[in-house]
Structures are given as structure tokens and as C-alpha cells.
Structure 1
Amino acid sequence: MKIMEEFNLLIATSRGNERAAAMETVALLRGVGDSAARADRISIVGLVVAQTILCPSDAIQKLRSLLKTKPELFRYILKITPLDWVVPTDMESIKSVCQEMATHLGKDETFRITVNKRHSQLLSSEIIEVVAASIDRRVKLENPDKVVLIEILGHIAGISVIRPRDVLSVLKERFSD
């Protein structure tokens, strides 16, 4: 299925609930206005990828609002992360995208790089070093304005520039009120 190369949402679920989380993701995205939503399991336990025609960050905000009004609809999804770029998992591709996405950081904005690595031999420290060198902005590890998020999923990497709040953590949202 081509969704692995075209996904823009990464969904975490508990082990064994991947199929249910994929179906739940599609239903929820359709409920917030995406009639073409797709989701599928991948070879990594506890993860599902999805594709939405909505802006990924907008989809997260709509899903957050839905979670506040109808929390019972979120049975299998634990966390949803928006992703803006999907590239092969190699240093050159990751560096190239990160140089391009540096334009999404304001001149005075601070950033942090977070790498979540699964099924890859690349070292997180090397990825961080290469990416940080390609972004001419100030690094701030605690409370940055933006996070350069790199999700390594075997041979594919999903990358985004997000605010820390752009990730939807279902449990945190439920207990934050």
C-alpha cells in the first residue's frame, strides 16, 4: 500500500490494537471533515500511519476539540503526531528536508530537535548533529518555540516542525481539565 510513503499522521496505540486504531483514526478524521482519510498498520508494533487531506496540524486541532466534547470516541488511539515531510531514512534526505523546513522557523524562534528512532541503525546523536548544523536558529532544549520532530520508521522518516502542543496525547488531554 502506498500510504507508507504518503502518510502525514503517526498514531500510537497499544500493542495488538493497531487494526482498531487504524479504523478509529479513519472514522474520527471523517467526523472532522476528511472524506478521503486513510490509515493502515505498519510493521512496527503499536504504530499506525494515516493520510489526511486536511493540514495535519489543523486535523490535530479538530481532533482535540472532538476529544473534549466526545472523549468516548477515542478508545484505541493514544497519541497522534502530525508530519509534514516523508523521506527515505538517510542522512542526505533528512538534512535536505531540514534545510528546507528551516524557513518555517522565524528568525527569533528557538527550536529543539527530537528524534524517535525505530528499526534503524542511524544514531540519534548523528542525526541531531547534522540537522542542527543545517538550521541557523538558536537551540533551546527546555520550552522551545518549535520542535523539529524526526520520526524514523525503518526505511522511511517523517519530519515536521511543530509547536510542542501540536501533538495530541489522548491521556494528557483527558486528565488536563
Structure 2
Amino acid sequence: MRRSKYLLGLALYFAVQGAQAENFQGQDNIERVLASPSSEVEFNTAVELKKMQALADTPNQEAINAARPVCYSALVGNNNHSLIMVPLPSNTSDLDSVCHISINSGWHAGGIAKSNYFTQNCSTLDNTLYGGGYTSYVTETYFESNRSKYSSCNSTNSFVCCSPQFPN
């Protein structure tokens, strides 16, 4: 049990370090896609990500802390895995494109981490409902098929869970 906690702590540390290093590549990817997009979806996602960065429209640390375990819960099993959370630019964003452009094409979306029940709209992630917050995970397929349920989801209250271990 002690070893598991130690390994989880190390994984979280390296995930944060990796996310900081990958951020520079993500910025380059956004600029590359804006200069030469391979599709309209890719271009629109890059514009949303650039706009989000320009507005510094990002979640607070409490929201990040609430979302991280939700993303990790989607990577079940005893396999090795990596995770980077990217704020969701808007509820119309293509989730895989958000991961591909923000990080690189080897990272894929599994879904989003958000507040409330998985079928309910987004609200603040750093809530204290029920004494410890109320979060959920929505798969990429469900989210993209039911966008109208998630009209309030944006970069301040939901994250795209990206990992090389999620199927493309």
C-alpha cells in the first residue's frame, strides 16, 4: 500500500513536470496548425485554444485539483499511463483535436472531467457539495454526441483528459 502511494506521488510529480515541458511544444503546435491546418476542425480548435490562451481564461488550482483524479479514474487497471489535462476551450471543440494541437498527435482524448452528474451541465469544479466536491467523467463519444447538454462547459470549469493510452 505504501509503495502504491509513493508510485502515485511520483506519477503525479512527473505528470506535472511533463505537462510543463510539453506546454512549449503545444504552443508551437498551435502556431503550426494556424499557419497550415490540415482540416477545418483542426483550424477551429487551434483558434479556440489561441483565444483561450490570449484571454488567460484558465481554471483555478482548486478546479485543477478536483479534475485530476477524475481523469486518472478513466485510465483504470494496473498499466503504466500518462495524463495531461487541457482546459476545454468550448463545448463545441473536437476533443481529440484539443489534445493533438495542445500536446501532440500521439495524445488522444478520453473524455472530459467536469462538475455535477455526468448528464448534467457544467458548473464550477471547485465546489464543496457533499463535503468534498461533486465531479464526473464524460467519455469523448458521449460528450460529442450530446453537446447540447453541456452548453456551460468551457475552459474555466472542465478539462479534456488526454493520454497516449486512450484509443484514437
Bigger strand share = 1
TM-score calculated relative to the size of structure 2: 0.33
Structure with the larger RCO, 1 or 2 (CA within 8 Å, 6+ apart): 2
Bigger helix share = 2
TM-score calculated relative to the size of structure 1: 0.32
